């Protein structure tokens, strides 16, 4: 028994966490496919899972390949592209809880990547300038100097009311 939406007369999927909302770039698609394959490998080995893991690993390679390469086959299920294939496979092969875990791992990877990029941006001549400003203003740590700079950059709410 499935519930029918009053709005569009279509079945309502319960606990449907759609991977399409998370994997929108080829890099995310490849990471999602590899994470889903790893999750399937952890489960008790059913025969269909072995084929699915292989297909997901292949799709992770194909989604990153240049679109014009002749050796890249069409998606196995006739999907429009490899990213759509990965999203469909993840939705079909994993339960809602497993999809949530896989997508949380993907979001964590993205977040770590962003934090790493942010920490790399500050290493260079910017770091030298921050350290010299820290020394000239007598702050004990670089974090305290950055916090002081941030406080100086924020407009005061009392000045805005005058």
Name the pTM for this structure.
Answer: 0.53
What is the maximal distance between C-alpha atoms in the chain? 73
The SS3 assignment for 35 reads: helix
The pLDDT tens digits for 119-135 are: 656 666 777 888 888 88
Residues 61 and 130 in one domain: no
Please report whether residue 106 resides in a domain: yes
Domain that holds residue 132: 125-154
CA angle 65, 68, 69 (to 5 degrees): 60
- Structurally, how many domains does the chain consist of? 2
Task: Please report which confidence band the pLDDT of residue 50 belongs to, taking 50, 70 and 90 as the band edges.
Answer: confident
The pLDDT tens digits for 11-44 are: 545 444 454 455 778 888 888 888 888 888 877 6
Is pLDDT above 50 for 76? Answer: yes
Residues 107 and 131 in one domain: no
DSSP state of 138: T
Please report whether residue 137 resides in a domain: yes
Residues 57 and 86 in one domain: yes
Is pLDDT above 80 for 103? Answer: yes
Please report whether residue 108 resides in a domain: yes
Give buried/exposed letters for 133-148 (b at 16+ CB in 10 A, else e).
ebeeeebeeeeebeee
Residues 104 and 133 in one domain: no
């Amino acid at each position: 028994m499935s519930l029918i939406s009053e709005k569009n007369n279509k079945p309502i999927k319960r606990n449907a966490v759609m991977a399409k909302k998370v994997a929108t770039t080829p890099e995310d698609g490849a990471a999602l496919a590899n994470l889903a394959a790893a999750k399937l490998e952890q489960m008790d080995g059913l025969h269909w899972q072995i084929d699915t893991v292989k297909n997901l690993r292949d799709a992770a390679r194909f989604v990153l390949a240049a679109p014009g390469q002749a050796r890249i086959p069409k998606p196995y299920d006739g999907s429009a592209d490899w990213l759509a294939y990965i999203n469909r496979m993840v939705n079909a092969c994993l339960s809602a809880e497993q999809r949530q875990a896989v997508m949380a791992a993907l979001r964590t990877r993205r977040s770590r990547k962003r934090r790493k990029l942010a920490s790399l941006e500050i290493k260079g001549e910017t770091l030298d300038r921050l350290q010299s400003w820290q020394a000239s203003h007598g702050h004990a740590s670089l974090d305290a100097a950055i916090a002081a700079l941030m406080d100086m950059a924020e407009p005061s709410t009392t000045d805005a009311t005058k």
